Amino acid sequence: MIIVMKPSATQEEIKGVVNKVEQSGLHTNLSKGAEVTIVGVIGDKKKIANLEVNMLPGVEKTVRITEKYKLVSRNFHPEDTVVDVDGVKVGGKNIVVMAGPCSVENEQQLDEAAAAVRKHGAKFLRGGAFKPRTSPYDFQGLAEKGLKMMREAGDKYGLKVVTEIVDKDDIDLVSEYADLLQVGARNMQNFQLLKALGKQKKPVMLKRGLAATISEWLNAAEYILAGGNNNVILCERGIRTYETFTRNTLDLSAVVAVKELSHLPIIVDPSHGTGRWEMVQPMARAAIAAGCDGLIIEVHPHPDRALSDGDQSLTPNTFGRVMEDLRKIAGVMERTL
Ligand code: PEP
Ligand code: MN
């Protein structure tokens, strides 16, 4: 349930409502907007049903929320959330681009990729050091060595570092090197990992599961917010359908749905979403037109030699051309890039 306060409600009145709710054994979540304050109520359904707050001074109305997720819901928090990743804001007017190789392979590969993505305007360097591969015989990533290389390249080129975390026991290790912790599609419902990420401070990028509904995805994000970490960025990366021409089916309607249902920023991954480098540019354009807050794009200095996801990786030159083009689309949408 949410309690919508009158625009004229005083601090005292808001406090009175919060106290009443908490005395009933329920939790509150306060959202102070420019116009109105909303008191979100979380807890036992029966207690919520018995709560009488409509007559309290300053209360405009109460609204029942049927969705299971609360803290990620736009009803609880009508204004867009902007996630600040060590000074780079995700969720505002600017469309943030994260780019780099699928996997960190060696120093030269990463350096070339980082130089190129920086040159063409990316704000984040992406690159996996712990790779969740389908086959145990495929390249599994360089682990801590790869994380170190990511941090060094990020610092050298003034890029934030985003990298995947696959195990809750690695949180301290990955946090030492990364600015943004990525939860991959395969771990979207790894609830132990989500709970642990809720209890730490680094922002989290939560990718949509391979076959997850939007509701399951938002509930997964709720785990992180419920633990106390509000800094979550969602990432649409394609879902499994009957179609095999593309690696996944990039669900751009999810951008629109998430914007309606949630206040969290959402970025799009047209690389994993299609599996084909030549589809990255058109789908990135479409993602911006649909209203996304950012893009994550795979770039490799030599895609033909990549140890993972070469087919969907852009060369540095192509990435440069794509960025130039995307800037125009962003302008049409009254965004910057
Ligand atoms: C990745 O970003 O490298 C990755 C493995 O993505 P996903 O979890 O979306 O498959
Ligand atoms: Mn990849």
Q: What is the CATH number of the domain that holds 214?
A: 3.20.20.70
Strand partners, 180: 162
Give the mean model confidence (pLDDT) for residues 27-55: 93
Q: Is the CB–ligand 1 distance for residue 237 below 6 Å?
A: yes
143 in any annotated domain: yes
CA-proximal residue: ligand 1, atom 9 (nearest): 185
Q: Ligand 1 centre from 165 Cα, in Å?
A: 11
Q: What is the CATH number of the domain that holds 42?
A: 3.30.70.1140
DSSP string, 95-137: PEEEEE-SB---HHHHHHHHHHHHHTT-SEEE-BSS---SSTT
On the question of pLDDT at 264 being above 90, the answer is yes
- Number of the ligand 1 atom closest to the C-alpha atom of 128: 3
Q: Ligand 2 centre from 246 Cα, in Å?
A: 14
On the question of pLDDT at 33 being above 90, the answer is no
The percentage of the chain sitting over the pLDDT mark of 90, rounded to a whole number, equals: 99
Q: Ligand 1 centre from 33 Cα, in Å?
A: 35
**How do residues 168-218 score in pLDDT, each as one tens digit?**
999 999 999 999 999 999 999 999 999 999 999 999 999 999 999 999 999
Ligand number nearest to the C-alpha of 269? 1
Q: Among 63, 91, 113, which residue terminates a domain?
A: 63
Q: Compute the 3-state secondary structure of the chain and give helix, strand, coil in percent, each to the nearest 5.
A: 40, 20, 40
Per-residue model confidence (pLDDT) at position 105: 98
E-strand ranges in 172-270 read 180-183, 204-207, 232-236, 266-268
Per-residue model confidence (pLDDT) at position 216: 98
| Same structural domain, 193 and 284 | yes
Q: Is the CB–ligand 1 distance for residue 118 below 6 Å?
A: no
- Number of the ligand 1 atom closest to the C-alpha atom of 272: 9
Query: If DSSP codes are grouped into helix, strand and coil, which group holds residue 84?
Result: strand
Distances (CA, A) of 232 to 41, 91, 198, 218, 278: 21, 10, 9, 11, 30
State the average pLDDT for the chain.
97
27 in any annotated domain: yes
Question: To 5 degrees, how large is the angle CA 198–CA 204–CA 206?
Answer: 100
Cα 16 to chain centroid distance, Å, stands at: 35
| Same structural domain, 235 and 155 | yes
CA-proximal residue: ligand 1, atom 4 (nearest): 184
On the question of pLDDT at 34 being above 90, the answer is no
Q: Ligand 1 centre from 164 Cα, in Å?
A: 8
72 in any annotated domain: no
Per-residue model confidence (pLDDT) at position 228: 96
| Same structural domain, 176 and 313 | yes
74 in any annotated domain: no
pLDDT band at 54 (very low <50, low <70, confident <90, very high): very high
| Same structural domain, 130 and 26 | no
68 in any annotated domain: no
pLDDT band at 35 (very low <50, low <70, confident <90, very high): confident
Q: Is the CB–ligand 1 distance for residue 128 below 6 Å?
A: yes
**How do residues 228-249 score in pLDDT, each as one tens digit?**
999 999 999 999 999 999 999 9
Give the number of domains in the chain: 2
Go through 87-107 and write b for each residue having 16 or more CB atoms within 10 A of its CB, e for each that does not: ebebbeebbbbbbbbbbbbee
Instruction: Tell which one of 246, 271, 272 to mutate to probe ligand 1, the residue whose CB is within 8 A of the most ligand atoms.
Output: 272
337 in any annotated domain: no
| Same structural domain, 58 and 87 | no
Domain that includes residue 42, residue range = 2-63
| Same structural domain, 117 and 183 | yes
Per-residue model confidence (pLDDT) at position 103: 98
| Same structural domain, 179 and 229 | yes
Give the mean model confidence (pLDDT) for residues 14-28: 96
Q: Which two tokens stand for residue 108?
A: 């030269």
Per-residue model confidence (pLDDT) at position 277: 98
103 in any annotated domain: yes
Per-residue model confidence (pLDDT) at position 304: 98
| Same structural domain, 42 and 117 | no
What is the pTM (predicted TM-score) of this model?
0.97
| Same structural domain, 122 and 7 | no
**How do residues 63-114 score in pLDDT, each as one tens digit?**
999 899 999 999 999 999 999 999 999 999 999 999 999 999 999 999 999 9
Q: Is the CB–ligand 1 distance for residue 226 below 6 Å?
A: no
Per-residue model confidence (pLDDT) at position 61: 96
CA distance 21 to 130: 44
Question: Parallel, antiparallel, or unpaired for β 232-236 and 204-207?
Answer: parallel
Q: Is the CB–ligand 1 distance for residue 184 below 6 Å?
A: yes
Q: Ligand 1 centre from 273 Cα, in Å?
A: 10
Q: Ligand 2 centre from 7 Cα, in Å?
A: 48
pLDDT band at 15 (very low <50, low <70, confident <90, very high): very high
| Same structural domain, 154 and 55 | no
CA-proximal residue: ligand 1, atom 1 (nearest): 102
94 in any annotated domain: yes
Q: Which two tokens stand for residue 23?
A: 């005395």
Cα 191 to chain centroid distance, Å, stands at: 17
| Same structural domain, 291 and 158 | yes
| Same structural domain, 255 and 316 | yes
Q: Among 10, 30, 63, which residue terminates a domain?
A: 63
Question: To 5 degrees, how large is the angle CA 271–CA 273–CA 275?
Answer: 60
Q: Ligand 1 centre from 330 Cα, in Å?
A: 25
Q: Is the CB–ligand 1 distance for residue 247 below 6 Å?
A: no
